[in-house]
Amino acid sequence: MNSTSLTDRLLLANLPVEERANGQRLVRALALVEEKLRGVEDELERRTRSDVPTISLIGEYLVDGGGKRIRPALLLLASRLLGYEGSVDVKYAAVLELIHTATLVHDDIIDGADSRRGRVSVNRRWGNELTVLFGDYLYMKGMKVALEEGDVRVLDLLADVTLAMTEGEILGAERRGSVDLTIGDYLEVVRRKTALLFAAACRIPAFLVPGAEERAETLWAFGLALGTAFQLQDDLLDYTASEEDLGKPVLSDLREGKLTLPLILSLPDATVPERTAIETVMSEKGFVSVPVSAILEIVDRLGALEKARRMVEEYAGRARDLALTLPEGDPRDALLLAAEYAANRRK
């Protein structure tokens, strides 16, 4: 089992030093779910074992590869905030991570990715055929685990969110290679592909606690805002972080023909040659005729990175404002920090 602490994995290790001023208080808040998060790791290890050796092999590879586990952590923090004292939240947290991991392995096939989190991607190591089947396995395993509890409300939510995520993938795939993408189009894909699963993580615990429905809408809205900020920052890091921090080449999205926030903000004011340069990289799926530096100069000249940064802060601010309406205590402090993390992480 990967024993990395939640503090290091989820937040502190990825925050600038200046954002760690309340470190001791933060550690206490995150320690509230440390034991349960380890339980999630145990669930993931157990649920990715199979009588089919290849499934167990790929599952072990992915679980050992770690990850931020932010969705499980959010579910567990929301659960603690609502006063839940059982263990079903651990199971549902594992379900969300199984679904999330399924989307990642499918994404890597679609994108032709060679690496994920600094390691060789599953599709690169085992091939597309086995990888797509393993992704399907993870989706169904997640639903089967959720079905064990028999809560139709949770199953209905998970089905709706998973369908929306698939719709988001299709919308994104249809627009790949196109420079005619509006901010509204982009945010709708972000909502479906990323933000809804964050929202589900924060919403599910309200099903577990009698009388907690009054908090459900706030937790859902918090998750939506947080998930949006998280994805916008992810797109921004593609332009500002190092390859070492990203665990993949910089400007990977553009290499894959994806138009993300910085370039969407740049295009309305770009010159004809600048627009042509962007279209060339997308059509060539790489920096063959156009150097990386040329694209970075475009977004810098047009102030797109600063505009994108303001959007990240706007959504993180919405998440903070919503969290402040929740009951005071260490769980709320951790949710507030999650909003800071979404806006300030470096990888």
Q: What is the pLDDT of residue 118?
A: 79
Name the pLDDT band for 247 (thresholds 50, 70, 90).
low
Tell me the C-alpha distance between 208 and 82, whole Å: 9
Specify whether the backbone of 248 is left (phi greater than 0), alpha (psi in -120 to 50) or beta. Answer: beta
pLDDT exceeds cutoff 70 at 52: yes
Question: Can you tell me the distance from the alpha carbon of 260 to that of 256, in angstroms, rounded to the nearest whole number?
Answer: 11
Q: In the prediction, which pLDDT does 8 show?
A: 56
Instruction: Tell me what the mean pLDDT of segment 240-259 comes to.
Output: 81
Nearest CA to 220 out of 325, 103, 104 is that of 325
**Span 205-229, average pLDDT:** 97
pTM score? 0.91
Orientation angle between helical segments 272-284 and 292-301, nearest 10 degrees: 140
What is the rounded (10 degree) CA torsion for 113, 119, 122, 125?
Answer: 100
How does the average pLDDT of the chain come out, rounded? Answer: 90
CA dist 87 and 42 (Å) reads 13
Checking if the pLDDT of 204 tops 70, the result is yes
As a whole number, mean pLDDT of residues 195-199 equals 98
Q: What is the pLDDT of residue 3?
A: 40
Tokens of 134: 């393993």
DSSP 90-129: HHHHHHHHHHHHHHHHHHHHHHT-SEETTEE-HHHHH-HH
Flag whether pLDDT at 15 surpasses 70.
no
C-alpha to C-alpha distance for 94 and 75, rounded to whole angstroms: 10
Give CB contacts under 8 A, 24+ apart, made by 343-346. 343/229, 343/233, 343/312, 343/313, 343/316, 344/15, 344/16, 344/19, 344/233, 345/14, 345/15, 345/233, 345/237, 346/14, 346/15, 346/16, 346/237, 346/241, 346/245
CA distance 38 to 10: 13
DSSP letters spanning 219-268: HHHHHHHHHHHHHHHHHHHHHHS-HHHHTS-TTHHHHTT---HHHHHHGG
Q: 112: pLDDT confidence band, cut at 50, 70 and 90? A: confident
Statement: residue 193 has pLDDT above 80: yes
Confidence of residue 22 (pLDDT cuts 50, 70, 90): very low
pLDDT per position as a tens digit, 119-162: 999 999 999 999 999 999 999 999 999 999 999 999 999 999 99
- The domains of the chain are located at 6-344
Contact 291, 304 (CB under 8 A): no
In this prediction, residues 189-206 reach a mean pLDDT of 98
Does the domain formed by 6-344 have CATH 1.10.600.10?
yes
- SS3 helix, strand, coil % of the chain, rounded to 5? 75, 0, 25
